[in-house]
Homo-oligomer: A and B are copies of this chain.
Amino acid sequence: MDGSSVLTGPVEIVGTGLIGTSIALACRRAGLEVLLTDTAPDHLRTATGLGAGRARTPDDVPQLVVVAVPPDALGPAIAAALDSAGPDTVVTDVGSVKAPPLDAVAAHPAVSTEYSGPLTASAALFDGRPWAVTPGPGASPRATRVVDALVRLCGAVPVQLNPVEHDRAVARTSHVPHLMASLVAGTLAAAPPEHLALSGTGVRDVTRVAGGDPRLYSQIIGGNAREVAALLTEVRARLDLVLEAVAAGDRVGLESLLGYGQAGTRAIPGKHGAAPEPMEAVRVSVPDHPGELARLFADAGASGVNIEDVRIDHDPGRPVGLVELDVVADHAEQLRAALESRGWETHR
Contacts and interface: CB of A to CB of B under 8 A. Distances in A.
Number of copies: 2
Interface string A95-124: 000000000000000111001000111101
Contacts of A322: 124, 127
10 contacts: A172-B188, A178-B202, A179-B242, A185-B261, A186-B257, A186-B263, A213-B262, A221-B258, A293-B297, A294-B294
A251 B225 CA distance: 10
Interface string A58-70: 0000000000000
A157 to B, nearest CB: 4
B170 A198 contact: yes
A30 interface: no
Given A214-B262, A306-B289, A243 B249 contact: no
B130 A283 contact: no
Interface in A293-314: 293-302, 304-312, 314
Interface residues of A, number: 148
A255 interface: yes
Interface stretch (A8-16, A34-42, A79-87, A189-197): A189-197
B196 A269 contact: yes
B229 A246 contact: yes
